C-alpha cells in the first residue's frame, strides 16, 4: 500500500476505536479530545463538544459551531474556576524562560480560550468576571512572551462588550501599532519577494481593518478616526473595500 493508503488505514482504525469507546462508555467516565489535534480526529462530533480549557469534552448537548468557527459550548462557571483558580501556567510569564515555536503555537490557543470564556461570561451578564478573565490572559501569557496577533482582536471586542472601553482601546492601539509595524516590514522587501509574503500581508491588513471597523461599531469614534487616518496615510494602495 502507498503512504496515503497507510494513513487512511490509521485514521479508520483510530476512528473505530474512538467510536467503540463512545458506544460502550455509557457516560460513566468523561471522554476528551485535545484542542490541538487535527480536526479529522474529531469524527464530526464537534456539535457535542464542550470546551474545558485544554481539551474538548464530549457531552450529550448539541451546540452548533459559532459564526466565528469556534468549536464547542462553554460552561462559563466551570471554565472560569478552572482557568482562574485551578490551572497553573508554570513559568510562562518569566522573561528568562525560552518558548520555542511549538510552545508559542499552543499558547496562542490557550490565550484565545480566555477570550472565549470572557465572551460566554458577557452573554450571561457577568461583565466584571469577564474583565477579570481578559486581564488574567495577559498576566498569565504576557505580550513579551507571545506577541499580539490577529487572534487578539477578539479581546478588544470582549472588553467593549464588558463596558471596559478604556482597556479595549488601549489593547486595540497596541495590536494596531504592532500590525502596522509588521506590515511596513513586509512591504520593505523587494516586489519580487512580496508574493511569497502575501498571506502575512493579508493577515496584517485584515487585522488593521478589523480593529478600525470594531472601534467604529462600538462608537469609539476618536480611535476609529485615528486608525482610518493612519491607514490612509501609510497604506493607501492596500485599503480594503
Locate the DSSP E strands across 24-170: 32-34, 49-51, 55-58
In eight-state DSSP terms, residue 117 is: H
Mean of the pLDDT values across residues 145-152? 94
Give the global pTM: 0.85
Helix axes 153-161, 101-123, angle to 10 degrees: 20
Sequence-distant (6+) residues with CB within 8 A of 29 are: none
Query: Model confidence over 88-142: pLDDT tens digits?
Result: 888 899 999 999 988 898 898 889 999 999 999 999 999 999 999 999 999 999 9
CA 82-88-94 angle, to 5 degrees, is: 140
3-state secondary structure of 209: helix
pLDDT of residue 78: 93
pLDDT of residue 69: 65
Q: How far is CA 197 from the centre of its chain?
A: 22
Confidence of residue 44 (pLDDT cuts 50, 70, 90): confident
3-state secondary structure of 77: helix
Amino acid at each position: 500500500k502507498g503512504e496515503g493508503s497507510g494513513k487512511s488505514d490509521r485514521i479508520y482504525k483510530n476512528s473505530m476505536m474512538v467510536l467503540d469507546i463512545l458506544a460502550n462508555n455509557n457516560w460513566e467516565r468523561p471522554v476528551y479530545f485535545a484542542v490541538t489535534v487535527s480536526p479529522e480526529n474529531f469524527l464530526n462530533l464537534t456539535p457535542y463538544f464542550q470546551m474545558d480549557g485544554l481539551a474538548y469534552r464530549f457531552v450529550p448537548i448539541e451546540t452548533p459551531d459559532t459564526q466565528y468557527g469556534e468549536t464547542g459550548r462553554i460552561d462559563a462557571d466551570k471554565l472560569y474556576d478552572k482557568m482562574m483558580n485551578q490551572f497553573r501556567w508554570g513559568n510562562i510569564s518569566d522573561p528568562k524562560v525560552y518558548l520555542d515555536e511549538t510552545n508559542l503555537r499552543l499558547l496562542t490557543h490557550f490565550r484565545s480560550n480566555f477570550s472565549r470564556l470572557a465572551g460566554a461570561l458577557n452573554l450571561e451578564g457577568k461583565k466584571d468576571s469577564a474583565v477579570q478573565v481578559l486581564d488574567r490572559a495577559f498576566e498569565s501569557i504576557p505580550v513579551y512572551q507571545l506577541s499580539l496577533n490577529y487572534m487578539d482582536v477578539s479581546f478588544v471586542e470582549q472588553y467593549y462588550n464588558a463596558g471596559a472601553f478604556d482597556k479595549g482601546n488601549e489593547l486595540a492601539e497596541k495590536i494596531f501599532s504592532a500590525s502596522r509595524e509588521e506590515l511596513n516590514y513586509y512591504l520593505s522587501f523587494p516586489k519580487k519577494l512580496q508574493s511569497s509574503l502575501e498571506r502575512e500581508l493579508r493577515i496584517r491588513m485584515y487585522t488593521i481593518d478589523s480593529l478600525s471597523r470594531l472601534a467604529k461599531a462600538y462608537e469609539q469614534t476618536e480611535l476609529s478616526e485615528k486608525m482610518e487616518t493612519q491607514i490612509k496615510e501609510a497604506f493607501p494602495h492596500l485599503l480594503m473595500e
